[in-house]
Amino acid sequence: MGWLAKQATENPVAFMALLGKLLPSDLQVSGANGAPIMSISAQAVATPEEIRRLLREERESGESLA
């Protein structure tokens, strides 16, 4: 566990005070040309057989998928 994550768990009051000093007090964010920001998320789910196949192909080709 990283130091910051540990502090957030063990000393939440001190961690939040530190976070308050690091983050800007006024944050305005917009998309291109002032448009609202759009968020698109996707989740890919592979079956165990698909994962085994991909790992086998990676091993055979010598290329890394990561």
Tens digit of pLDDT for each residue in 13-59?
998 998 888 887 777 778 788 888 888 888 878 888 998 898 898 88
Question: For residue 47, is it within any domain?
Answer: no
Distance CA 53, CA 34 (A): 45
Q: In total, how many domains does the chain have?
A: 1
Distance CA 11, CA 5 (A): 10
Structure tokens at 16: 């939040």
Question: For residue 50, is it within any domain?
Answer: no
Question: For residue 14, is it within any domain?
Answer: yes
Does residue 65 carry a pLDDT above 70? no
Distance CA 63, CA 65 (A): 7
pTM over 0.85: no
Q: Quote the domain boundaries for residue 14.
A: 1-29
